[in-house]
Chains A and B, each alone.
Chain A
Amino acid sequence: MTASAQINSIDEVIQALAGMGYQADRRLATAVFLSLRLQRPLLLEGEPGVGKTELAKMLAKVLSRPLIRLQCYDGMEQREALYEWNHAAQLLHMRAAQSRSDIDTIEQEIYQEKYLIRRPLLQALQEPAPGAVLLIDEVDRADEPFEAFLLEFLGEYQVSIPEIGTQHAVAMPVTILTSNRTRDLHDAIKRRCLFHWMDYPERERELAIVRAQVPMASEALTLQIATFVARLRSQPYSNAFQRGPGISESIEWAKALVSLNTLILDPEVIHDTAGILFTQREDLAALAPLVNELLTPE
């Protein structure tokens, strides 16, 4: 059964994701729905901590497909992303077989599938139906030659391994690419994908997220957290900080506050736990004088 058979409308996407504890707005759900239906990769861009990677994980659960993750980094090569031969084992086999068979047979033997080390992209192609959810994480960190290779992969969903032949996708994987925009991706790769810019959630959605992720927190505290973080991200306060807290930060913060048995936010407890919301010294220093102002109700 394919994904498109399971999910037939945008509302179903929202419901299914919410069932897993992921609150998607309608805009995001539309993008996900289209990506499933049109079998196009979905490129998610946005600030760190807005739930890009999380979406792929949840999608895998919703579709009950395995999640295959390719974490990109600078200098990544095809052999780390696609496949590699197990050369050491091949050499051993060759030495062992030398005395009993001729060269042609040995050659055939060493390029068997058992000597092939499958890396994420090949795994995703060979995953039997219903296919995998392929997460290509932080694609902006890989360098441009890799991007060119990815382009080919995403266009055709097939790779050719010279010794074995062309490998086609057994079932089309659902592909999610994420980027933090440390650099601009090439237009060609964007053309292959559907694009979605993920923003920080509005207060209500954040409230729902924190509620779902940290059920131990009291309702009053959850409300305060969501309001406080939403105000941190809004004008004019956001100007004071280099990088505002993402959703993952507010969830971590809520968890920390619960384990400290906090019932209600006060300047002291914020001061003690601000290290979770902000990771830069300058931001922490900028927060201190604003706390009282941020806590006063509008």
Chain B
Amino acid sequence: MQLGDARSGKLTDNLSGFARALRRAGVPIDSSRIALAVTSLQEVGLSRKDDVKHALECVFVNRNQDQEVFNELFDAYFRDPEITQKLLSQMLPKAKDANSQTKRRARVQEALSSVGKTAATSHKKDLNIDFDAAMTASDRKRLRHADFQSLSASEFLLVEKLVKEIPFELPVIQGRRVVSHSKGQQLDWQKVMRETQRFGGEVLYLPRLRRKPQSLPLLLLVDVSGSMERYARLMLTFLHQATRKSPRAVFAFGTQLTDLRAAFKMPDSDKMLEMVNSTVNDFAGGTLLGEALGELRSNHSRLVVGRRTVVVLISDGLDTGSGEILSKNLSWLKQRCRSLLWLNPLLRFDAYSPLAQGAVQLHHHADAMLAIHNLSKLEELANSIAQLLKK
């Protein structure tokens, strides 16, 4: 173990080196944590390696998902810090400078410079390598990237205009917090006291409180499979702008589920589309709604906790997956959300009835369905989403 005694300052060096390594591996650590780590090691003592590990763990790790990274890196680092540094440097070419001050520099430098040369030729590729090698992009089924163009000026104006003009009622409930309001239900005792003092102990009127309306979280599931291809771009743009005021989570699905939450955090719609382009891998492919919902269930189930979320599913229901999985996952979703709304753009004929396998399931489980003839006109889309949310 490289932990020397604290007096020579080697402990602090080692710890901050370790913290930097963790940080490069994606664990958020600030310098106050390093100071805390030093103090906690002084408390725990250095006699047992597992104590040191546990102590550092409760200081440095604050998310469950970082635990594995911490364990591996701790074992590697305190066996030989330089191996770790080298490993990490290979991952991020930038780390080269930060490394140049370590002891026994020449050897590492040599090793690093050869890494640097190869890195220079494939610079772009290297940047994409994650710490967790199991999740690299090459493992994924890559069907087709979305290729949304950025919005033309007129389209942008149209979207903005629609967002303003269409009365889009995002779902709200009466929250638990209260605000002052003349027609409220509860008495504002604190204000009664204040006002009473002003008028020499006389209660002249009774200030009231009202429960503050609170927007419900939205979960938007947008179908980007082949049959929905034409609508996806403007649909996403419109949703991006119109649901801005509600807490929302957006996912695209085709044969797999893509998390678009990061993209929807972009303030600008063009930036959002750009990010969607790079993240959606299964654009205009098939639809496996059941499997996509299964993924939502196992990885993001916390988004639909507490029966508050309003789930809006935009899909034509032409599902090619197993009906059983779909049914199971839909009933799971139904049980956990406040309402499950389905916007179905497949109603081309007046006599449409949901016959396709997926559509039958959706029809059975959804709280409300709205079928529309044509999604290509943005006005109609916007109106129908607004109408659906009112249901």
Contacts and interface: CB of A to CB of B under 8 A. Distances in A.
B54 A27 contact: yes
Contacts of B58: 30-31, 34, 42, 194-196
B288 to A, nearest CB: 20
B201 A30 contact: no
B64 A197 contact: yes
Nearest to B212: A75
A191 B190 contact: no
B43 interface: yes
Interface stretch (A59-67, A179-187, A214-222, A289-297): A179-187
Given A33-B43, A187-B28, A196-B58, A10 B51 contact: yes
The size bracket of the interface on A is 35 or more
Given A181-B302, A194-B59, A106 B201 contact: yes
Contacts of A190: 62-63
Interface string A73-95: 01111000000010110110011
A27 B96 CA distance: 35
Contacts of B200: 98, 103
B302 A38 contact: no
A209 interface: no
A114 interface: no
Interface stretch (B30-38, B128-136, B151-159): B30-38
B320 interface: no
Given A195-B58, A197-B67, A30 B44 contact: yes
Q: Interface residues of B: mostly helix, strand, loop or mixed?
A: helix
B73 interface: no
A37 interface: yes
Contacts of A183: 302, 305
B275 interface: no
Contact of A30 (B55, B67, B193): B55
A143 B196 CA distance: 32
B227 to A, nearest CB: 32
A175 to B, nearest CB: 14
A54 to B, nearest CB: 19
B62 A107 contact: no
A195 B63 CA distance: 8
Contact of B57 (A10, A27, A145): A27
A162 B302 CA distance: 39
A34 B44 contact: yes
B300 to A, nearest CB: 12
Nearest to B303: A183
Interface of B: 28, 30, 32-33, 36, 39-40, 43-44, 50-51, 54-55, 57-59, 61-64, 67, 175-177, 189-190, 192-193, 196-197, 200-201, 203, 302, 305-306
15 contacts: A10-B51, A26-B50, A26-B54, A27-B50, A33-B43, A34-B44, A37-B40, A43-B62, A85-B190, A85-B193, A87-B193, A90-B193, A91-B193, A182-B306, A191-B62
